[in-house]
Structure 1
Amino acid sequence: MEPDSIRALIEHQTAELRAQFPQIIDCHSALEQWSEDGERRHSLWLDIRWPQRQALVSGPALHDAQAAVDAAFRLARERIAPTARG
């Protein structure tokens, strides 16, 4: 995927996360890219904050950037759901 497409995907997923958990006040992301054994790897880091809480999520290193974004947001939902709804 092109960088603009990845950026748009991250913004879209962030908006969906905020809609699912409206108490989120801030969500920062950073997509890491590197080469390992001659193959490209991607991993998305998320810093999600809501009143008196914070979740730091490090997504898995995957070959596909879109899959890395999807995986990180899936982990974020799993991590914050028990505390954000309570």
Structure 2
Amino acid sequence: MSDRAFIAQIEGYGLTTAEIYYFLPDHPSLVQLFAWQEYDAAPDFPVLFGFLDHWRREIEAEIQSVRIAHEQLIRPAEWQAVDGVISLD
């Protein structure tokens, strides 16, 4: 059994969050927010842009703006040297 999210991260995908601000036809003066989150590949974001294409075709809400945050969760380990000497004697 494998975890889909873990496999996506191993393949280079990172966690992407998009804030989609939009207007509904019934309330054109009211900006609403939809939060979307999925594993995607930066900087092209094929999963996000696929979702936005679906939104434009199927949903009657006009997108005002999209704000994107992306984090590569699996990456090389970072380490930091510490002042001092450790004696192994």
Same fold (TM over 0.5): no
Give the TM-score normalised by structure 1. 0.33
Give the TM-score normalised by structure 2. 0.33
Q: Which has the higher strand share?
A: 2
Relative contact order (C-alpha < 8 Å, sep 6+): which is higher? Answer: 2
Structure index of larger Rg: 2
